[in-house]
Structure 1
Amino acid sequence: MAELKSVVDKENPDVIAVLETWLTSEVLDSEIQLTGFITSRADRLNRRRGGFIVYTKSTLTIRLAETVAHVSETCELVRCKLKCRRQDIEVVVVYRSPESVADDFLLSKLKSWCKNGKNLVVGDFNAPYINCVNLEVGSSISSFNSKLLETSIGLALLQHIRDPTRYDLRNSSSILDLVFRHGDDVGQTAFVPPLGRRDHAVILFKFMVEIACQTIAPARPNIWKADMQAINSAASAENWEIDSKASVQEAWTLFRQLYNRVTQPYIP
């Protein structure tokens, strides 16, 4: 978490997707919480590895958050509908295991969720044989790679990652982590080193859309529930005399400090 927090502090993202968290129900939300973010998570119950967390900045207005997983626990998805100024955007995060037996389930969800042209789809698809530049696949026509490419073309989704995202010293590096969008409003893509012992790069990118943020009003004291008896008692114990040689600003500062000291503890 320390490395993730460091990246968050430096880059100040609005949405974060962390894949292959390996979390179980024994890990509390409070242990993985990031200050200023809302957490959506999908843990695997009966299998090791997998799972993910999606953090969305608390100032964003989320109309919907839904997490689904295949019964085989080899594929998980989450979608968050974010309120934007011109149109709502559905952010879909995917994790597909290399041993997935849920390919039809995954493709069906993408077809259902991404047919309105207002989606951003990101995740680890474990589909290394797709050439999204030339729209070619280096595997059989019945493979998941071919079906994913066909599905993305049918949904008019453009894949924006062009460089390898997973580094393997034993084999050639590959593009496993993908970013799909219906237009060219994904830009300034950059990679930073993997977190911890992972072998996947951290992908940073700008998604150019006008987000409708919540206006958070500052907290105000509820004076109607003040404990007046306690305030009067505290005020009686203070020395309210002001040095006659003090300036107006000094006198005001001292008075305000005294006032806050005797009132704030007793006003919710």
Structure 2
Amino acid sequence: MSTDLGAVDLTTRAARPISIGCLLLCLIAASLVVRPVAAVPVVQTWTLDNGARVLFVEARSVPILDVAVDFRAGAGFDPNERSGLAAMTQHLARFGAGGMSEEDIARRFADVGAQLSGRIDADRAGFNLRTLASRSERAQALEVFARVVQSPDFPQSALDRERARIASNLREEATRPNVMASRLFFAAAYGNHPYAQRPLGDPADVRALTRDTIVDFRRRFYNGASAVVSIVGDVSRAEAGEIARAVAGALPAGSVRASLPLVA
């Protein structure tokens, strides 16, 4: 509720600053009383046998489950003259996994209203799942998600198609002044550091990517030591433990987490 200061009866000009100050203090105090302080979510953490770290927040207000699996496998780890390798490795996983075709994957997610998405930056590559938290719906969504995360097939037909499409998009982007300005900025800011690389790669490098290089990149960087599993939703701690093991427990343990050099 707002207050019209012009309607306040101020008897003298000297009293005006004091009265307004007192009124503002009262309004601030009232707002602190009527506005409840949001509870800080409790983050539970543990580690799977293969080294994957798990973060869990129990949220019972909405029957939704969000699961994310991130790897220390971002574009900053692209080898020289193979820019776009990390992005392609992450991107292709949804186009065939665990013996399922991309059509099967899309259909089974759609059947239960689940959503799959992914992301890539210089440091990390990851996958996100949003699904209903009810047991039957989440079971199907998690089964498919686990295949995408842990056992992508990288079908050659999908690689051929996506390689051509992404290279074409990158060539088109090169005609946009804002894109070119962004590239020049990162090159000036980071020099030879991996952060200066373009996450989606150079068109020529992308066209040269092979299935063997993708499989090798995944073998090196997609492992338990590199993984962080984040779970938020309408499930218990025990159920979250089952979910974490389902979507990341089959990853190889790996050795040490990859790291990028410090920015000078």
TM over 0.5, shorter chain: no
Structure having the higher strand fraction is 1
> TM tier, shorter chain?
under 0.3
What TM-score, normalized to structure 2? 0.22
**Structure possessing the higher relative contact order (Cα contacts under 8 Å, 6 or more residues apart):** 2
Structure having the higher helix fraction is 2
What TM-score, normalized to structure 1? 0.22
